[in-house]
Amino acid sequence: MEGDYRGVDGLKSFFAKLGERSDSSFRVNVIDGRTAGDELVVTQVCNCMNLEGSSIEFDAVVVWRIVNGKVAEAWDIPAVNTIRLVEKS
């Protein structure tokens, strides 16, 4: 899933791939969000999904750059070394 996804088509492509790999189970739980100056928004999230028969979750930080009221760029930084398996109850 890593790579550069540009524009609306890139964003759609990324989420289409993610939907296929996770059997449409991907969800984001926002933990915290804050502005950093006039141009950046930083969110801390916990991503959850089913992947290859396991339920997993992992932390990530997403940085959004806002220009003229629109998202100009976003960087998604996942903590892939600390993925957690979630026990099914």
CATH number, residue 67 = 3.10.450.50
Q: Which residue has the higher pLDDT, 80 or 89?
A: 80
Number of domains in the chain: 1
pLDDT at 88 over 80: no
Q: Which pLDDT band, with edges at 50, 70 and 90, does 87 fall under?
A: confident
| pLDDT value, residue 89 | 60
- Would you list the DSSP string of 28-39? EEEEEEEEETTT
Element (H, E) at 16: helix 7-21
Range of the domain at 62: 25-85
In a domain, 51, yes or no: yes
In a domain, 11, yes or no: no
| pLDDT value, residue 39 | 97
Tell me 81's DSSP state.
G
Give per-residue pLDDT as tens, 32-56: 999 999 999 999 999 999 998 899 9
In a domain, 12, yes or no: no
Give per-residue pLDDT as tens, 57-67: 999 999 999 99
In a domain, 59, yes or no: yes
Region 20-31: mean pLDDT is: 95
Half-sphere exposure of 43 (CA within 13 A, CB side): 13
In a domain, 75, yes or no: yes
In a domain, 4, yes or no: no
In a domain, 16, yes or no: no
In a domain, 1, yes or no: no
